[in-house]
Amino acid sequence: MKLIAESIDIGTRSPTVLLNEADAAELGVHALERIQLQRDGRTTIGIVELTDELISEGTLGVTRRLGHIDGPVEVSVAPQPNSVYYIRKKLDDIELEHRELERIVRDIYEERLADIELGAYVSAIYTNGLSMEETMHLTSCMANIGETISWNDSIIADKHSIGGVAGNRVTPILVSIIAAAGVKIPKTSSRAVTSASGTADTMEVFCDVEFSIEEIREIVKETGGCLVWGGAVNLSPVDDQIIRAETPLSLDPKGQLIASVLSKKKSAGSTHAVIDIPYGEGAKVESLAEARELAEDFNRVSEHLGMTIECAITSGSAPVGRGIGPVLEAREVLATLDGEGPNDLRVKAIRLADLLFESVGVDADATEILDSGAAQETFREILAAQNGDPDVAVSDLSLGRHTHIVRADRDGVVTHINNRLVNEVGRRAGAPKDHGAGLELHRCVGEETESGESLVTVYAESSDKLADAVDLLERIEMVRVRHPDEALVDRV
């Protein structure tokens, strides 16, 4: 059927097209089914929504996601994508071949899969798992799609945390240490998905984080490193789609996690990386044994890809650092580079940096680089290169002026701080969108407190959002305080 395409101003995550109901009936398609648009020998897939009046008969409404399509197009029912059969095969718990995984990855990339099918894909991977062979293939396929960055250097360092720990803003410190030692580290980071701040959100307090690959190249040439948002470049774009499907169900199957992390590293041109695997109560990985197994799998897949990685198994049962939220974390990063800042954050950054030095075979000492001020200097150079103020001071970074203090309701010891709840309170308070929102922890796990002493200060930029956060705080136990006598054995 020939239709006249016209742009329509709707932004969707799927490549939606609007069809008049009469045309849809003629074509024999229903809402959410796929049609293909052909013009000039190019084929585009669209997902159908119906309208009576918004689009008249003979016309096709093309939403933003499909790009600019104008004028006559040939429209027909799109064939079922082959990957649907392979997803079903995986649901039948049969190992997928290389070409089948490749087809799935390509169909996801080309947005040929509807959300129902994408939901089935992540469910199949979650419930039936991926073999080591499948994980390796999947990682390669994902890394080879979208943009890649190639460097002329034999060593490109990188760092990743599998996440789940509040605060934990190690990356800016580590990147500054590594770059200061003359090892290139072009770091792309994510924004928060379910946490109160991602590295990209925290860096945005200081400077711009959205750059093209060419601009990234310039920044790294100038400073040895960068701290940018990965979402602005098209590295392993399939990963973003898969994460979108995993998020609502909180699925994060091991094989897919490894493929996600390493495909991003590979497409960024990294040769060496340190992977932070936090484990413990409330972390993504609960036991040390699981953490070790995951580390081994990471090692095997990276070997297959020709990358060298070091996995660091770290404590993940409580936040790292005392500030959670963009400005609070930015302040701690600056303070730590200044030789101050919370000790756990400092020690973790140093330890991971040293592991990375060891991995790339560079004889450098992270403590020395940090204490000499060299790391701080490099950090400020990166800020300048990313259009930030290189002379920024902690006092320039302002917090939300609405505050609430959480106080201990008894004398005792802090036995647990719940990462997930800390993040949730931070998000309710407005983080990461409101940079000045977040939480400051006054007591860490193992520290003593007295009834009435402040445990946490919550910051917000609006009183409404603060009230929202307080409302949640009143219903949960975010910080667990127990009498010293009962601190070791918790009643359930």
Mind telling me the catalytic residues? Answer: 252
Residue 210 near a second copy by CB under 8 A: no
Given 10, 155, 305, 335, the residue binding a second copy (CB under 8 A): 10
Distances (CA, A) of 317 to 166, 361, 415: 10, 31, 10
Given 4, 22, 94, 116, the residue binding a second copy (CB under 8 A): 116
Return the number of the residue (73 or 242) whose C-beta is nearest a second copy: 242
Q: Write down the H helix ranges in 306-388.
A: 326-337, 343-360, 366-371, 374-385
**E strand or H helix at 456:** strand 454-460
Residue 114 near a second copy by CB under 8 A: yes
Return the number of the residue (129 or 390) whose C-beta is nearest a second copy: 129
**Shortest approach of a second copy to residue 36 CB, angstroms?**
15
Given 6, 36, 39, 51, the residue binding a second copy (CB under 8 A): 51
| Contact assessment for residue 39 and residue 6, using Cβ atoms and an 8 Å cutoff | no
Distances (CA, A) of 25 to 5, 32, 51, 60, 349: 18, 14, 12, 14, 61
- Phi, psi dihedral angles at 154 (to 5 degrees): -80, -20
| Contact assessment for residue 258 and residue 302, using Cβ atoms and an 8 Å cutoff | no
Residue 84 near a second copy by CB under 8 A: yes
Stretch 236-275: interaction string toward a second copy, x if CB under 8 A: --------xx--xxxx------------------------
Return the number of the residue (87 or 414) whose C-beta is nearest a second copy: 87
Residues ≥6 apart with Cβ < 8 Å to 196:
166, 324, 325, 422, 423, 425, 426, 427, 429, 431, 432, 437, 438, 439
**Shortest approach of a second copy to residue 191 CB, angstroms?**
11
Given 22, 38, 74, 80, the residue binding a second copy (CB under 8 A): 80
**Shortest approach of a second copy to residue 18 CB, angstroms?**
7
**Shortest approach of a second copy to residue 140 CB, angstroms?**
25
CA 59/CA 251 separation, integer angstroms: 40
Helix (H, G, I), strand (E, B) or coil at 401: coil
**Total residues in contact with a second copy, by rule CB under 8 A:** 48
Q: Which residue has the tokens 């918004």?
A: 54
Strands 454-460 and 438-441, how do they pair? antiparallel
Residue 2 near a second copy by CB under 8 A: no
Binding-site ranges for a second copy (CB under 8 A): 8-14, 16, 18, 21, 25, 28, 30-32, 49-54, 80, 84, 87-88, 91-93, 114-120, 122-124, 126-128, 244-245, 248-251, 433
